[in-house]
Amino acid sequence: MFKTKVITAVLVSALLCSCSSEVSSNTQLESSETHSSEEVSREEKWIEDLEILSLNLTSIHRGLYNNVSEADFNTELQFIRNNISNLDDQEITIKIMKLIASIGDGHTYVMYKDFLGEKIVPVKFAWNNNKLICVNAIEMHSDMLHSQIVEINGIPVEEVFNELMSLISAENDYRRSYGALGLVRLPLVF
């Protein structure tokens, strides 16, 4: 029951792409106010979302500072808040993903597929003996099947995955690596 509430807090509070300040009625979370999209700027919506996220995480999550110090967490949260006008929605979403991942709890996460787009690269990857292998592809990319991938957009696979793993909420590197396999298929991420 506890972990479900934490997931709800993160997923509902962030409201990442739409930046809507309305909270779903089937949760226990409520914004202090609700606004129509004409009344409130994008920046104000993001600030409200970040405040709700912070409030709910600090009041509900029992292990919030087990893997990240309170000072580091709040510094990063403030950085995001202070830079909303300089970042697009995708960049804010990725920064929030990184912040939430720093908690180190696989039950507290941002569902990136809902916020970073529906389009995916039409290939699927897997790790085999510490090598990234293409294990599935549409016909147009069938020449990639069973090939080792050594770089993505000119960046070595190890660097790409180290960065992507920092966005995945998990208790260990195995789970982060597995989660990064999903992120690498989103063309918007890199």
Per-residue pLDDT of 41-60, as tens digits, reads 999 999 999 999 999 999 99
**pLDDT higher at 159 or 31:** 159
Indicate the pLDDT class of residue 183, thresholds 50, 70 and 90: confident
How far apart, in whole angstroms, are the C-alpha atoms of residue 137 and residue 132?
Answer: 14
How far apart, in whole angstroms, are the C-alpha atoms of residue 57 and residue 62?
Answer: 9
Contact residues for 125 (Cβ-Cβ < 8 A; gap 6+): 132, 133, 134, 135, 149, 181, 184, 185
How far apart, in whole angstroms, are the C-alpha atoms of residue 158 and residue 164?
Answer: 10
Per-residue pLDDT of 114-124, as tens digits, reads 666 667 888 99
**pLDDT higher at 94 or 24:** 94
Task: Report percent pLDDT > 90 for the chain.
Answer: 59
Output DSSP code: residue 20: -
Contact 183, 167 (CB under 8 A): yes
**Angle at alpha carbon of residue 188, lines to 183 and 190, rounded to 5°:** 75
Q: Determine if the pTM surpasses 0.75.
A: no
**pLDDT higher at 15 or 62:** 62
Indicate the pLDDT class of residue 37, thresholds 50, 70 and 90: low
How far apart, in whole angstroms, are the C-alpha atoms of residue 165 and residue 181?
Answer: 9
* pLDDT confidence of residue 38: 66
Amino acid at 124: K
* pLDDT confidence of residue 11: 31
